[in-house]
Amino acid sequence: MKQGDVIAGYRITTAPTNANGGKCIWAFAEKSGTAYFIKQFLEPKRPKDDAADSPSLRIRRQVAQEFEERHRGIMKRLRPDAPGGGNIVLATDFFHEGSTYFKVTERIDTASLARPQDLEPRQKAILLKTLGTSLKQLHDIEVVHGDLKPLNVLVQKRDRAAFHTAKLIDFDDSYLAGKPPAPEDISGDSLYGAPEWRRYLRRDSGFGPDRLTCAVDVFALGLMTHLYVTGDLPGYDDKFGSPADAVNAGELLRLDPRLPDTLQGLLRRMTLADPKHRPRTAAYLKALSNPEACTLRPRPVRGPGPAKSPGEEGSTSGPRTSRVRANLGPRTGGQAPVPTDATPVPPKSSGPATPVGPVPSDNPATSAAPAATAGPRAPERPAASDTPPASRTSRVRINFGDRNRDRGRGTP
């Protein structure tokens, strides 16, 4: 495929590229005055009808036939006039030219919002509900998307529209529930893949094709919901290559403690190891009917308390009185206190540990006032906090590095 070529009536108008194309190259095309997006599959190749018969040819012919049946079957099941179909970008044509397969969709705007986590809670809820509705449409007809990830979701806002919506694209790796391609042929993204999908790839005993159901998408949707609401994927130990690997090892993913309890509970169920115990998309949509589910609530931090009267001040314990008097400075008419060393004591933060990377806009930073010291320094006590140490560690690990981020956007 080259720019200027005419393939089955489609004139190629741009230079083909493999950017975010996987096992395909793609370009834009035009036919009868309408702009299209055309994709050329690099594999499989369709054997010629008059090719000499051989065991190898029969295998290649069977692979090509299964490939055709899967794509045509998905196209027949997905209807643009079904509820929620407006946010699903469907294929309009699938054909082969010689030994090469092609797939066509109408050309769409591929711009996408880079930081959904910056939206207001109601905006986030509407965005996630449009994505969940599209998935429900697929799951109602037993179709698994098979490669759900941010790259295949376009977050857009139409002119004069009040809310952002999610457009679901790229159904090249979709299959009927329980009938995925063979492990050597199936595609997907390891970062968003479900635990049973990972084990199917490894051909683990007891993880045949029947285990790959619509729950595969539910696991990925749970990860994406955490990403869209907080800006990061759930945390997991660095020794694991993906969230699914951690779950398969019996680990619980670390959820952002700012999430409301209702959403934490939902995401915990969506990322369970056993696909049979994950909720359906209908339950997901019901949970998001209240925008409060997408509202981040910083853990309360206990302040220093009300100011004390001079009489109360004298009755406090030694260490606490020492710190307060040092912050008030020398009393009038008295001798200035002499510090025991010249090195100032660095201030200690009473807030939660600072996350690595960008801090979400709706999580105000907190810091404690610096504590100067007069005379012998009393042992400093950590400021009281309602947030347990484990939660603070979790938040740092969740935001640790770019490995847990997937904000790239590409073409459908």
Parallel, antiparallel, or unpaired: how do β-strands 34-41 and 143-144 relate? unpaired
Q: What is the pLDDT of residue 193?
A: 97
- Domain count for the chain: 2
Task: Report the helix count and the strand count for the chain, using DSSP H and E.
Answer: 10, 10
Is the same domain home to 401 and 254?
Answer: yes
The confidence band for 372, taking pLDDT boundaries of 50, 70 and 90, is very low
Sign (positive or negative) of CA dihedral 125, 126, 130, 136: positive
Question: Are 7 and 153 part of one and the same domain?
Answer: no
Rounded mean pLDDT, 374-396: 43
What is the token pair recorded at 11? Answer: 């004139």
Please state, for a pLDDT cut of 70, what percent of the chain lies above it: 71
CATH number at residue 9: 3.30.200.20
- Asked whether residue 41 is assigned to any structural domain, the reply reads yes
pLDDT at 377: 43
The amino acid at 345: V
Considering the domain architecture, whether residues 39 and 170 belong to the same structural domain is answered as no
Residues 47 and 186 in one domain: no
Residue 352 lies in a domain: no
- Output the CA angle 59-65-70, nearest 5 degrees: 130
Q: Is 409's pLDDT higher than 50? A: no
Domain closes at, from 107, 132, 160: 107
Structural domain contains residue 94: yes
Whole-number pLDDT of residue 360:
44
Q: Which pLDDT score, from 0 to 100, does residue 111 have? A: 87
Is 74 within 8 Å of 174 (Cβ atoms)?
yes
Helix (H) or strand (E) holding 28: strand 24-31
Mean pLDDT in residue range 176-195? 94
CATH code for the domain in which residue 274 is found? 1.10.510.10
Average pLDDT, the chain: 80
Whole-angstrom Cα distance, residue 269 to residue 234? 13
Residue keyed to tokens 């919002």: 113
pLDDT > 80? residue 183:
yes
Q: Which amino acid is at 80?
A: P
Res. 367: pLDDT tops 70 = no
pLDDT, tens digit (0-9, with 9 covering 90-100), for 26-61: 999 999 999 999 999 999 999 998 888 899 999 999
pLDDT of the residue at 19: 87
Helical H runs in 31-169?
Answer: 55-77, 121-140
Q: Could you say which of 75, 107, 139 is where a domain stops?
A: 107
Asked whether residue 153 falls in the same domain as residue 121, the answer is yes
Report residue 11: phi and psi, to 5°.
-90, 120
Same domain, yes or no: 142 and 19: no
Could you tell me if residue 258 is inside a domain? yes
> What pLDDT sits at residue 84?
57
Whether residue 262 sits in one domain with residue 163: yes
**Domain shared by 133 and 277, yes or no:** yes
Contact predicate 351/368, CB 8 Å: yes
Q: Is residue 275 part of a domain?
A: yes
Domain span holding position 3 = 1-107
Q: Are residues 130 and 102 in the same domain?
A: no
User: Is residue 310 in a domain?
Assistant: no
| Whether residues 16 and 146 fall in one domain | no
Express each pLDDT in 294-313 by its tens digit: 999 886 565 555 544 444 44
Residue 257 falls within a domain, yes or no? Answer: yes
Kindly state whether residues 70 and 128 are assigned to the same domain: no
Residue with tokens 């018969």: 53
pLDDT, tens digit (0-9, with 9 covering 90-100), for 135-178: 999 999 999 999 999 999 999 998 888 999 999 999 999 999 99
Residue 323 binned pLDDT confidence (cut-offs 50, 70, 90) = very low
Q: Which of 107, 137, 158 is the last residue of a domain?
A: 107
> Cβ–Cβ contacts within 10 Å for residue 156, how many?
18
In a domain, 195, yes or no: yes
Q: In the predicted model, is pLDDT for residue 344 greater than 90? A: no
Same domain, 122 and 84: no
Q: Quote the DSSP letter at residue 134.
A: H
pLDDT of residue 209: 97
Q: How far apart are CA 46 and CA 71, in angstroms?
A: 14
